[in-house]
Amino acid sequence: MTNPWRGEVALTIDGQQRVLKLTLGALAELEQELATGSLVELVQRFEGGGFSSGDVLALIRAGLRGSGVDQAVDLMQADIAGGPLAAARAAAELLARAFMLPEGP
């Protein structure tokens, strides 16, 4: 079960439900991997629909790293439940939840 207030997103990969989470370290690695000037640029790509499949896979990899999942998962060969659309939704949700603030009283 995922906890959205902790930034967690669920995605089924190769028949196994995985919990993804973007930590600060995973976000820093993601910036370098995607050669973005800032995370704001990456968010803008997703908001504007200008993201690539490579962006989606990089976000999912970062989410796996952030949740402590062994990197033995080969996303290039993986079967993601729901296909590319579910993967893109999970990636966008990861970004949104990484910067979501809990509702205050």
CB 30 within 8 A of CB 58: yes
Q: Which residues pair with 20 in a beta bridge?
A: 9
Indicate whether 37 belongs to any domain: yes
42: containing domain: 4-98
Angle between helices 39-47 and 53-66 (to 10 degrees): 130
Is there a domain that residue 103 lies in?
no
21 lies in a domain?
yes
* Model pLDDT for residues 19-36, shown as the tens digit of each residue: 999 998 888 888 888 877
Classify residue 32: in a domain, yes or no: yes
Examine residue 67 and state whether it is found in any structural domain, yes or no: yes
Q: Is residue 74 part of a domain?
A: yes
The domain tally of the chain equals 1
**pLDDT tens digits, residue range 25-81?**
888 888 888 877 777 888 888 888 888 888 899 999 999 999 887 666 788 889 999
Assess if residue 104 is contained within a domain: no
